[in-house]
Amino acid sequence: MKIQIISEEIIKPIDPTPQHRKTYKLSANDQISAFLADVPVILFYSPTKEISSKNSDHLKKSFSKALTLFYPFAGRIKDELSIDCNDDGATYIEAHVAGNMSEIVEQPDIHQLEQLLPCKPDENLLHQTSRVMLAAQVNYFDCGGIAIGACIRHRIGDASSLASFVKCWGAISCGVDDNNVDGVVVDCASIFPPQDLSGLSLVRDFITENSDSKTVKRFVFDGPKIAALRGKLSNGPYLDRPTRIEVVSALIWGAFVGEENESKKVNKMAMHAVDLRKRLDPPLPKHSMGNIIHAAVANWPTKEVDYNGLAGKIHDSISMINNDYVNEVYADGAYFNLIRQRMEKIAKDPNNCSTFMFTSWCRFPLYEVDFGWGKPIWVGTAIWVTPNGAILLDTRDCEGIEAWVTLSKEEMVKFEQKPDILAYASFCPTI
């Protein structure tokens, strides 16, 4: 696949940010998310007559209007606690891709997908200053198809924040008056007050450990297979009717735990990033910007792998996160002190703990993003998550789940050969 950059520019908000909004305060969750890689998404659209009618200038103008609503995305880092909403703008790239889009979507490969993005997601780990908050790349294929890649710095928002932006951008492109589009910015610093996070550089060390030897593969659990798995794991001693996310997470975690048991690691944990927007009281608007997430931690104490039990542990860890829990956990910086203690403990005895990290983008409105030429035929990503981690996305019919799993090369070979993975997952199937 050959990509030629046609143009690259900085696009500013169409309207200036009011003076009273010039400083956006970062929350404690934003502070800690600065250690994480950028958040990328790629939307693929089949060739249509409407695509030719939506020219480059039209997309750029709607991009500029969307930036006005999500004004911190056009700012720059001021210091560790704030973003200067100075309207310096976001990166906008146009590229020509030689070949047909089908060459990409039939057998998605993370290295090819990376080329459709305006930046490498893990660059954030190396370059912490003087970078844009948001970048987009519009890729034009020879066949007439388009892939739109977008990437935000994790410091400014989570995957839900990025999904809100691209949906807003699409709505404006379709002719919706930007005055009628929900572009909501919430000051999460009042919910998660900034903290002294000195010593949490251990988080970055944990995330980047063995980064050169890790590999990422896509596994697809289609709707019927998930339905069968849910039926198999229902009416168990730990959980009656697990969700599709719970059963897929349990299956992946079980395959990992089963391998880890051989090394006799004592603490086996699964961490799920939980969106707090609907769990707070009152609930936050769905388009709220920021890292409004909390890690739910499930522990598995035995050597035996029981999928109903694993799903039950995941269910319990997520269910307990409500408004009262959040208020208690974040009081006086208790949560971040706990993180610091955990990281120090892991650093002292890394062989005593086994952790698998999940991030779910399921139910995000990514398959609803329409720029005027219909909805995407596929939504992908190209993020290198922490070793021993997975990102879960909806399949196109929103009944199945795509799991982008990151493991060491040696662990991936063993993972692919697990009987239950072979039974329920397809490896890189055609879109």
State the DSSP string of 350-379: GGGEEEEEEEE-TT-GGGG--SSS---SEE
Beta-strand relationship, 2-11 and 214-221: unpaired
| Pick from 188, 187, 167: nearest CA to 66 | 167
Report pTM.
Answer: 0.92
Burial label for 92, CB within 10 Å (0-12, 13-18, 19+), is: buried
pLDDT on residue 305: 83
Q: Is 43 helix (H, G, I), strand (E, B) or coil?
A: strand
What integer pLDDT is reported at residue 129 of this predicted model? 47
**Euclidean distance between CA atoms 283 and 281, whole angstroms:** 5
Exactly one of 154, 272, 287, 315 is catalytic; name it: 154
Q: 88, 122, 222, 370: which is the annotated catalytic residue?
A: 370
Residues of the chain with CATH 3.30.559.10: 2-190, 201-363+384-427
pLDDT tens series, the chain, 431 aa: 899 999 999 999 999 999 999 999 999 999 888 878 899 999 999 988 777 656 789 999 999 999 999 999 999 999 889 999 999 999 999 999 998 999 898 888 888 999 999 987 666 544 444 589 999 999 999 999 999 999 999 999 999 999 999 999 999 999 988 777 777 888 899 888 888 776 665 555 555 555 557 889 999 999 999 999 999 998 888 888 899 999 999 999 999 887 655 555 567 889 999 999 999 999 998 889 999 999 999 998 877 789 999 999 999 999 999 999 998 888 877 777 777 777 777 667 666 678 899 999 999 999 999 999 999 999 999 876 677 899 999 999 999 999 999 998 889 999 999 999 999 999 866 55
Nearest of 153, 157, 271, 150 to residue 206 by alpha carbon? 271
- What pLDDT was estimated at residue 396? 94
- Residue 347: is it exposed, middle or buried by C-beta count within 10 angstroms (0-12/13-18/19+)? exposed
Q: What share of the chain is helix, strand, coil (3-state, %, to 5)?
A: 40, 25, 35
pLDDT at residue 341 in the model: 76
List of residues 6+ apart from 192 with CB closer than 8 A: 27, 28, 29, 30, 330
Pair type for strands 353-360 and 90-98: unpaired
Residues with Cβ within 8 Å of residue 391, at least 6 apart in sequence:
358, 359, 360, 361, 381, 383, 385, 403, 404
Collect all residues with Cβ–Cβ distance below 8 Å to 361 and sequence separation of at least 6.
159, 163, 381, 391, 392, 393, 394
| Catalytic residue status for 154 | yes
Is 20 noted as a catalytic residue in this protein? no
Starting at the edge strand found earlier in the chain, the sheet holding 90-98 runs: 2-11, 90-98, 134-141, 146-152, 39-45, 378-380
- Report yes or no: 392 and 403 within 8 Å, Cβ to Cβ: yes
CATH 3.30.559.10 is right for the domain spanning 2-190: yes
Domain 201-363+384-427, CATH among 3.30.559.10, 3.30.1360.10, 3.30.70.20, 3.30.1330.10: 3.30.559.10
* 22-33 exposure pattern, b = at least 16 Cβ within 10 A, e = fewer: bebbbbbbbbbb
How high is the pLDDT of residue 53? 56
pLDDT of 125 reads 44
CA distances from 47 to 102, 146, 365 (A): 11, 7, 21
Position 239 scores a pLDDT of 86
Rounded Cα–Cα distance for residues 359 and 105 (Å): 22
> Are residues 197 and 84 in contact, defined by beta-carbon separation less than 8 angstroms?
no
* Distance separating the N- and C-terminal Cα atoms of the chain: 18
**List of residues 6+ apart from 383 with CB closer than 8 A:** 37, 38, 39, 40, 121, 391, 404
Distance (Å, rounded) from C-alpha 58 to C-alpha 172? 10
The whole-angstrom separation of Cα 26 and Cα 68 is: 19
